[in-house]
Amino acid sequence: MTKEEIRQRYAEVAQRIGRLPLYKSLDEVSDNERVDWRRWAADARHVIEMSFGKDSTFFSEMQKAISTEDRDGVPWAAGAVAALFLSGQENYDRGFDTSLDQRISGEIFGDLVNAADTALQGGHKDFAAVVAAAALEDSLKKIGGLHGLNTSGKNLQEVVNLMKSKQILTGGNAKFADGFVKMRNSALHAEWSKITDAEVGALIGFLKPIIAQYLS
Q: Which candidate, 124, 20, 31, places its Cα nearest to that of 77?
A: 20
Counting as low any pLDDT under 50, the low residues of the chain are 98-102
Separation between Cα atoms, residue 115 and residue 106, nearest integer Å: 14
What are the tens digits of pLDDT across the range 93-109? Answer: 877 654 343 456 788 88
- The pLDDT of residue 194: 93
What is the predicted pLDDT for the residue at 103?
A: 54
| pLDDT on residue 98 | 40
For residues 190, 200, 127, 215, the Cα torsion angle rounded to the nearest 10 degrees is: -110
Contact 139, 215 (CB under 8 A): yes
Could you tell me which residues come within 8 angstroms of residue 79 by beta carbon, excluding any fewer than 6 positions away? 22, 127, 130, 131, 134
The answer to pTM > 0.85 is: no
Q: Would you tell me how many other CB atoms lie within 10 Å of the CB of residue 176?
A: 16
Give the model confidence (pLDDT) of 119-131 as tens digits: 999 999 999 999 9
Q: What is the pLDDT of residue 188?
A: 82
CA distance 79 to 18: 11
